[in-house]
Amino acid sequence: MILRMLPCFLSVYSRTITITITITITITITITITITITITITITITITIVIVNGGSNMPPLGSGTNVIPLDHATQAIARTRNVPLLNVIQRNVPLLNVIQRNVPLLNVIQRNVPLLNVIQRNVPLLNVIQRNVPLLNVIQRNVPLLNVIQRNVPLLNVIQRNVPLLNVIQRNVPLLNVIQRNVPLLNVIQRNVPLLNVIQRNVPLLNVIQRNVPLLNVIQRNVPLLNVIQRNVPLLNVIQRNVPLLNVIQRNVPLLNVIQRNVPLLNVIQRNVPLLNVIQRNVPLLNVIQRNVPLLNVIQRNVPLLNVIQRNVLEIQKRLGADPALTFTLLTR
């Protein structure tokens, strides 16, 4: 009986196995199709987001593996399509740190390639100009000044703290050419506004004092002397070549007041040291000889006579009175 029912049982069991396998295959295919559709949708969404954002989170092609991730500042630059600037700042961390906090600087350097080339290689200059808007405004319009200060750290240190000096040297190329090569002069004029005001308008004086350290040392401490020599070219020509005379007139205001108005007297005393030595110590004698040219002509050639009249000035002064013709008579007695 069992043998008779065996074919029936096998037939039912075979049908059940077939149905089970069919259901399993169907479920597997369904899951596979679902996963494929999910992956396709994900990839599509990702590509759409990248395209919408303009690829701002992707490094430029060929930029290597050490590219700095772009932040908001650099995304803004990327949208301006400024590839050179973008290439620079992503390789230069200090520059990137600066310009993402400083919008005016960013606006400037993306339009000014020479400035960009300079500041990306010069960290001290970058540190200065990001904190100093007037300096930045100047150097972006003044390429010669930029070329100078990037190579001259002392000058840079000075002009970033001294706005009047900066205003002067950006408009005055001869002055800029001088002070970038002359550190002592630079040190002087940044602390001395009157001197700076003078030499920026007076090229001959500038040419003189940059070559003459003693004269520079004198006039920076002596405003009256500075006021005189900037208006008096003959006096300037004399004292720059005559250190003893310079030493005298800077300490002797009456003598300075006299010789700046009296060119003949100046011409005499610069060539006659004994006469200079006398008149700087003897104000009455100075008062006499500056008003009396014949007397001056005599005493500059006659040292013994000079020795006499400097001891008798008051008497001679009284007797001369208003008649200079008596001079020689008195002197020959």
Looking from the CA of 72 toward its CB, the CA atoms found within 13 Å total 4
Tell me which residue range forms the domain holding 140: 77-172
Amino acid identity of residue 63, one-letter, is S
Residue 105 lies inside a defined structural domain of this protein: yes
pLDDT in tens, 145-196: 777 777 777 777 777 777 777 777 777 777 777 777 777 777 777 777 777 7
More confident residue, 204 or 6: 204
pLDDT in tens, 184-243: 777 777 777 777 777 777 777 777 777 777 777 777 777 777 777 777 777 777 777 777
More confident residue, 286 or 331: 286
The CA-based angle 151-155-160, given to 5 degrees, is 110
Q: Would you say 203 and 172 are in contact if contact means Cβ atoms under 8 Å apart?
A: no
More confident residue, 56 or 151: 151
pLDDT in tens, 128-144: 767 776 777 777 777 67
Looking from the CA of 79 toward its CB, the CA atoms found within 13 Å total 11
Q: Can you tell me which residue has the tokens 């970033």?
A: 160
Residue 318 lies inside a defined structural domain of this protein: no
The answer on 145 and 232 residing in a single domain is no
How many domains does the chain fold into? 3
Last residue within a domain, chosen from 232, 251, 270: 251
pLDDT of residue 152: 72
The answer on 106 and 153 residing in a single domain is yes
The answer on 158 and 195 residing in a single domain is no
Residue 54 lies inside a defined structural domain of this protein: no
The answer on 134 and 88 residing in a single domain is yes
64 φ/ψ sector (left φ>0, alpha ψ -120 to 50, else beta): left
Looking from the CA of 131 toward its CB, the CA atoms found within 13 Å total 9
The answer on 163 and 216 residing in a single domain is no
Last residue within a domain, chosen from 26, 46, 66: 46
